[in-house]
Structure 1
Amino acid sequence: MHYTFVNADTLARLTDDIRKAASEGFGPGMLAGAPFLDEYALVPQPAVGLTGIVTGHPRIADGRRCFSTQVFHINAEQGVARTLNRWYRLGRPHGSERN
């Protein structure tokens, strides 16, 4: 049996994004169209992912709780996270006080 869990193009985009985040910071184009994840939290799955209330996701309705693929980069101060499949713009962490 042979299983391919992630294709090479997806990993190449992920690697490129992490390199840019580490060296160039975030330009406006990097997060264009990125879903917004409010009340987010890291969740221990077989690999660490994110959960939160999503807005702007291409396949999940606004206001629904989602569970992301594996997290590879997160910077809470900048309010961004990169999972296997996409960037997320982060809102408030889960359990934070609402304003």
Structure 2
Amino acid sequence: MSYLINGHVPVPELQPDIERLRRLVDDLERIRRGDHPGAAQLAEAPILNSWELARRPDLCLTGAVTGHPILQDDKEIHTSALWVISPVLGYARTFSRLYRLGSPYADPSLH
């Protein structure tokens, strides 16, 4: 889910995703410690039959990055999944980090 923010306003619509992410983090922490789901938890979980790995597209940003802690300056990147974007306030929050928004893409064929 991505959220477009148009100013310094509260965003209560984020609450369900915050709660879902907290549950995910709690589960990941338990698994990291070796506390995997037990028989009782699995018995309550839905069953997925005929399953296979698949890919699905997530909304993200692309552009030339500067000041990234891992990537070199001016490298063309695709960000991780976009969660919040506020062009008005000049920022985007992806799954992995906060970005300051510079100038948007200007299609040269339109000039």
Percent identity at matched positions?
39
**CA–CA distance in structure 2, aligned partners of residues 63 and 92 of structure 1:** 13
| CA RMSD in angstroms, aligned pairs only | 2.1
After TM superposition, give the deviation of residue 82 of structure 1 in Å.
0.2
**CA–CA distance in structure 1, aligned partners of residues 91 and 82 of structure 2:** 11
Alignment of 1:81 onto 2:92: yes
Instruction: Indicate the residue corresponding to 1:70 in structure 2.
Output: 81
Unaligned runs of 5+ in 2: 1-23, 27-55
Report SS of the residue matched to 1:66: strand
Instruction: Indicate the residue corresponding to 1:95 in structure 2.
Output: 106
The number of residue pairs the alignment matches comes to: 56
Inter-CA distance 96–90: structure 2 relative to 1 (3 Å threshold): farther
1:10-41 Cα offsets, whole Å, 9 max, x none, are xxxxxxxxxxxxxxxxxxxxxxxxxxxxxxxx
After TM superposition, give the deviation of residue 96 of structure 1 in Å.
6.7
| Greater percentage in helix | 2
**CA–CA distance in structure 2, aligned partners of residues 78 and 96 of structure 1:** 23
Give runs of ≥4 in structure 1 deviating > 4 Å: none
